[in-house]
Amino acid sequence: MKILVTLLWVLFLVACSEKVQNIGTSKNVDLPAYMGAKNNYVEKNWTPGDKISWEAQLKSRAKGQDEYTRVE
Amino acid sequence: MARMKFICDTERCIECNGCVTACKNEHEVPWGVNRRRVVTINDGEIGAEKSISVACMHCSDAPCMAVCPVDCFYKTGEGVVLHNKDTCIGCGYCSYACPFGAPQFPSQGTFGMRGKMDKCTFCAGGPEEHGSQAEFEKYGRNRLAEGKLPSCAEMCSTKALLAGDGDVVSDIFRNRVTHRQSNGKAAGGDVFGWGTAYGVPKKDAAPASGAKS
């Protein structure tokens, strides 16, 4: 009897649930850039998937924009 | 974690439009869409003419993200503001919200006169698989995932346009300003803004008659 009442309550309350209706998502569904690109243009100085080596690669690349350090 | 930023040094920009061309070429941006452009003020006035290369500034508190009704924007771990073209409805709200005019709308495409929004991605592609053809067709090349910096900055002939980790590019810019000052040249230490463009008004200047308070 107790089980039957519980089942009835479950059936009664099931209409109270609601599906998520968000049209878009602000969640970042993108993979991190350090995972690397699957093409032949990836620089050889770092290892795809290794965040530390990717950051070091971008840092050295950014420092290459400074001609004061390049000529010294 | 690096925070990716652009800085344009107005003392160096020579309005060559190399950055614009590099961007167009790298991502095969369609006719009528300019992810990056060079703006010149005081054109022809000796000493007062300034040019600046402008694109999406990947704002920390991006107004485009705030106003998007379908929430298609997202931010990467490096602070790059990207969007999902599958979710974008091409309404143009982001265009009104952006102070830099970064969002662009192609005149050809699914929505006829106004297609889905297109903007600078900091050469970081979109939510598709990195380096895939699908990503390239929707968002262009993903140079960050290739271990490179944005094409516009790397192609800049005078290195006026700097891109990369905010700490690194601000160090480079600071070093330049110091060198210019020590050489007795115009330091150009102010990052481009209203004051750089039109001069700083005198503090004791009376407001013009009829001017609104």
B200 pLDDT above the threshold of 80: no
Report the pLDDT value the prediction gives residue B171, as an integer from 0 to 100: 93
B196 pLDDT above the threshold of 90: no
Q: What average pLDDT does this structure show over B91-97?
A: 93
Span B151-195, pLDDT tens digits: 999 999 999 999 999 999 999 999 998 988 888 777 776 666 666
B111 pLDDT above the threshold of 60: no
Q: Per the domain annotation, does A56 fall within a domain?
A: yes
Q: Average pLDDT over chain B, rounded to whole?
A: 87
Q: For residue B67, give Cα distances in angstroms to A21, B64, B91, B113, B153.
A: 19, 5, 11, 22, 29
A52 pLDDT above the threshold of 80: yes
Q: What average pLDDT does this structure show over B108-135?
A: 84
Q: Per the domain annotation, does A69 fall within a domain?
A: yes
Tokens read off for A71? 């000529």
Hey, which residues does B53 pair with through a beta bridge? B38
ipTM passes above 0.90: no
B28 pLDDT above the threshold of 90: yes
Q: What average pLDDT does this structure show over B91-103?
A: 92
How is residue B17 annotated by DSSP? -
Asked if B75's CB is within 8 angstroms of A65's CB, the reply is no
B31 pLDDT above the threshold of 60: yes
3-state SS, one letter per residue, for chain A? CHHHHHHHHHHHHHHHCCCCCCCCCCCCCCCCHHHCCCCCCCCCCCCCCCHHHHHHHHHHHHHCCCHHHHHC
Asked if B145's CB is within 8 angstroms of A37's CB, the reply is yes
Q: Containing domain of residue A65, as a range?
A: 46-72
Q: What angle do CA B102, B35, B169 make, to 5 degrees?
A: 85
* pLDDT class of B25 with cuts at 50, 70, 90: very high
B11 pLDDT above the threshold of 80: yes
Nearest by CB to residue A36, choosing from B127, B145, B153, is: B145
Q: What angle do CA A29, A33, A36 make, to 5 degrees?
A: 115
How many CB atoms within 10 Å of residue A41? 13
Q: What domain count does chain A have?
A: 1
Q: Per the domain annotation, does A7 fall within a domain?
A: no
Name which of B168, B171, B176 to mutate to probe chain A: the one with the most chain A Cβ atoms within 10 A of its Cβ.
Answer: B168
A35 pLDDT above the threshold of 90: yes
Query: Mind listing the domains of chain B with CATH numbers?
Result: 4-171 (3.30.70.20)
Report the pLDDT value the prediction gives residue A28, as an integer from 0 to 100: 64
* pLDDT class of B130 with cuts at 50, 70, 90: very high
Chain A residues contacting B via beta carbons under 8 Å: 22-39, 41-43, 45-46, 48, 54-55, 57-59, 61-63, 65-68
Taking CA atoms, what residue in B is nearest to A27? Answer: B74
Nearest-Cα distance to chain B for A66, in Å, is 6
Least confident span in A63-72, B43-52, B80-89: A63-72
Q: Per the domain annotation, does A61 fall within a domain?
A: yes
Q: Per the domain annotation, does A52 fall within a domain?
A: yes
> Does residue B213 or residue B101 have the better pLDDT?
B101
Q: Per the domain annotation, does A60 fall within a domain?
A: yes
For residue A36, give the nearest of B133, B175, B197, B130 by alpha carbon: B130
Taking CA atoms, what residue in B is nearest to A36? Answer: B145
